[in-house]
Amino acid sequence: MSILDTFAEKHDCIIGACNAAPLDESRYGVFVPFVSTDIKKRTDPAAVLPGATGVIVIGVGHGINNEPIVNGVAQLSSLGTSPDYHPIVRAILRELVNELKQHYDFKYKILVDSPSLDERAFALRAGLGFFGRNGLVISQKFGSRFNIGLIVHDIKCLEFQNLPLQEACPPHCRLCINVCPSPASCISYLTQKKELSADEEILLARSNQLYGCDVCQNVCPFNTESETNFVNPRIWLSMDDDAFAEKYSHTAMLWQGTSILRRNAQIVLTSLDNTPSKT
């Protein structure tokens, strides 16, 4: 087994390696939220690490904390309940670098949820999965329930056999599209956006999402089944910053601050209060 094979087995993750050739810039006419609008930084590993020759891409699965379905409360994605993946993935990448340092002398740059390189595109190039209709990379091992990390490096020769993968979503499967609260606007993005327009507030209210959105992943046949996490938005409105930190500091949810979470709770609560009860 190769170094990367052995490491992937040890850490129960998926790993692929690919070249550092720039991505096709013509595919980046519109930039997704929270990323660099510098086309070179999005597409060219050499803009991140001068002299880069390759990219190692890992996928680390994340768990889902299931809660019983409760009527009259709002949905919370796994981002709001699972341990923050950023330090977890970085620690695994640092360990992999240390392993490789025993065999190679090289420079590197670790990226996790970085605003620079397009992580999904390099995950596809490295063979971790295929691009699903839900806009996520889907792997054999984890479905779409995994987080991506990159090591941009200047190792001259690093061989790795990519994983065998399905080619695409089933031709007639549209489960993720049919269940999406707003195909034209990412609900997960709206729950993290600092300022919302009136139309965006309506979309968020209709979605019943407090933070993030997992609905497309929950129906995907490549994913394991999972119940949705629910929270009463009134609880969020009564929590101060210390209470939020105590309950959610282990997650990635607080990065934009608690005021946005309270705003989401108020928007969703107003919608719930105006929804006729089912009796």
Interacting residues of 2 by C-beta distance below 8 A, sequence separation 6+: 159, 160, 161
Residues 6+ apart with CB under 8 A from 58: 8, 13, 14, 15, 89, 92, 93, 96, 148, 149, 150, 151
How far is C-alpha 23 from the chain's CA centre? 20
Same structural domain, 262 and 189: yes
How far apart CA 5 and CA 275 sit, in angstroms, is 52
Instruction: Give 195-250 pLDDT, tens digit per residue.
Output: 999 999 999 998 999 999 999 999 999 998 776 788 899 999 999 999 999 999 99
Residue 70 lies in a domain: no
Q: Is residue 233 part of a domain?
A: yes
pLDDT tens digits for range 143-185? 999 999 999 999 987 765 555 565 789 889 999 999 988 776 7
Tell me the C-alpha distance between 165 and 45, whole Å.
25
The answer to whether 3 touches 99, Cβ cutoff 8 Å, is yes
Q: Which of 115, 222, 210 is nearest to 176 (CA)?
A: 222
Kindly state the helix (H) or strand (E) to which residue 242 belongs, with its residue range.
Answer: helix 241-248
Residues 16, 144 within the same domain? yes
CA dihedral 225, 273, 177, 39 (to 10 degrees): -100
The reply to whether 21 and 100 lie within a common domain is yes
Do residue 188 and residue 244 come from a single domain?
A: yes
More confident residue, 224 or 34: 224
Mean pLDDT of all residues belonging to the chain: 87
Q: Which residue spans within the chain are E strands per DSSP?
A: 14-19, 54-61, 74-76, 108-112, 130-131, 137-138, 146-153, 209-211, 229-231
Tell me, yes or no, whether 146 and 35 share the same domain.
yes
What pLDDT sits at residue 96? Answer: 97
Q: Is residue 162 part of a domain?
A: no
User: Per the domain annotation, does 246 fall within a domain?
Assistant: yes
Residue 51 lies in a domain: yes
Q: Contact at 8 Å (CB) between 150 and 114?
A: yes
Whether 143 and 235 map to the same domain: the answer is no
Residue 267 has pLDDT above 60, yes or no: yes
Write out the residue range of the structural domain in which residue 119 sits. 3-63+84-153
Tell me 80's DSSP state.
G
Residue 244 belongs to a domain:
yes
Residues 139 and 260 in one domain: no
Are 113 and 229 part of one and the same domain?
Answer: no
Per-residue pLDDT reduced to its tens digit, 103-128:
999 999 999 998 889 999 999 999 99
Most confident of 30-39, 97-106, 227-236: 97-106
SS3 237: helix
Note the pLDDT of residue 55: 95
Domain count, the chain: 2
13 and 131, same domain (yes or no): yes
Would you say residue 192 lies in a domain? yes
Q: Environment class of residue 98 by beta-carbon count within 10 Å: exposed (0-12), middle (13-18) or buried (19+)? A: exposed
Strand 209-211 to strand 74-76: parallel, antiparallel, or no bridges (unpaired)?
parallel
Q: For residue 246, give the amino acid letter.
A: E
Best CA proximity match to 240, nearest among 256, 258, 264, 263: 258
pLDDT at 181: 83
What is the pTM (predicted TM-score) of this model?
A: 0.88
Q: Is residue 170 part of a domain?
A: no
Q: How does residue 279 score in pLDDT terms, banded at 50, 70 and 90?
A: very low
214 and 255 belong to one structural domain: yes
Same domain, 107 and 203: no
Query: Is there a single domain that holds both residue 12 and residue 124?
Result: yes
CA distance 132 to 122: 15
